[in-house]
Amino acid sequence: MLVLFGWVKEAKEIASALSCHCYRCQRKRAWEHWKETEWVSFFMIKTIPFLSKSYVVCSACRESVLLNREQVALLEVEAKLPRLAAFLEEHQLSQKTEVQRNFLLAQREQNQSRE
Ligand SMILES: [Zn+2]
């Protein structure tokens, strides 16, 4: 008897997440909440959800940031969204050098004064 096992990865948008500055786009963007689930499949049918990860994704440049469980919980309370925005800023800037960071922050100031 032939038994067919497999592995299926599925990603879908759950909802819009928040609106805050994206340092890749250098402007305020809407971020989306995406969930990626890995399934064990049996005869090509998704059977057991094995692993699930949440991301927020910039609606313009598609930069995606992996969230932990506490950060996903922040998404559910409007008043806690600024904490998530602070995490996103921290995350995006953490990959930059000091010089790049200062440049991006200065550019953000400049853009905001123009808006
Ligand atoms: Zn962006």
Distance of CA 57 from the midpoint of ligand 1 (Å): 8
Domain locations in the chain? 5-114
If you average pLDDT over residues 40-64, what whole number do you get? 92
Distance of CA 76 from the midpoint of ligand 1 (Å): 22
Q: Please tell me what DSSP assigns to residue 87.
A: H
pLDDT at residue 115, rounded to an integer: 63
Residue 25 has pLDDT above 80, yes or no: yes
Residues 6+ apart with CB under 8 A from 39: 7, 8, 9, 10, 46, 47, 48, 49, 50
Distance of CA 112 from the midpoint of ligand 1 (Å): 16
If you average pLDDT over residues 33-44, what whole number do you get? 92
pLDDT at residue 1, rounded to an integer: 75
> What is the chain's mean pLDDT, rounded?
92
Strand partners, 13: 34
pLDDT at residue 111, rounded to an integer: 83
